[in-house]
Amino acid sequence: MIRCLGADIRIDPFALELVIDAFPEVESRQRLIRRFADIYRNRLIGGPGGGWTVEAMRHRDALAALDRRMEGYSYRRIAIFLYGEKAVRDDWNSPDQTMKNRVIRRVRRGLRMMNGGYRTLLN
């Protein structure tokens, strides 16, 4: 498991805490760390041209949403973190609840990744 410690990894310095629960499998954990570093450095994941792919953005947002939820943030506060105050003010109470549903899906995706789903990224 890799845990990010810090206020906002997008703009502030942060620390990575590495928890290796299966020591003989260090190589697989190293691949995971390299993959995370690639995502953080904005390296392309899975396509030409550089930058973030849609899927990499989904993973990033899911992990950020999960971190905030585990810190006790409401879904609304998570939305502000992900999309900004103005976007949330404009869209949070829309009749179709698109933004609310999107945030809930991000948290659920983060939970799946935390519970082992991250392993699919290593393939």
The residue extents of the domains of the chain are 2-122
101-119: average pLDDT = 88
- Specify the higher pLDDT residue, 20 or 98: 98
Lowest-confidence region among 48-52, 67-71, 86-90? 48-52
Whether residue 120 is predicted with pLDDT greater than 90 in this model: the reply is: no
Task: Determine if the pTM surpasses 0.75.
Answer: no
Q: Is 20:29 a contact under the CB 8 Å cutoff?
A: yes
With H, G, I as helix, E, B as strand and everything else as coil, classify residue 43.
coil
Percent of the residues in the chain that have a pLDDT greater than 90, as a whole number: 37
pLDDT, residue 88, reads: 94
82 φ, ψ (degrees, to nearest 5) = -80, -40
Say yes or no to pLDDT of 18 above 70: no
pLDDT of residue 75: 97
The H or E element containing residue 2 is strand 2-5
CA–CA gap between residue 117 and residue 14 (Å, rounded): 24
Chain centroid offset of residue 88 CA: 19
Per-residue pLDDT band at 33 (split at 50, 70, 90)? confident
Number of H helices, E strands in the chain: 5, 2
Between 3-17, 32-46, 49-63, the lowest mean confidence (pLDDT) is in: 3-17
Give residue 92's pLDDT.
Answer: 94
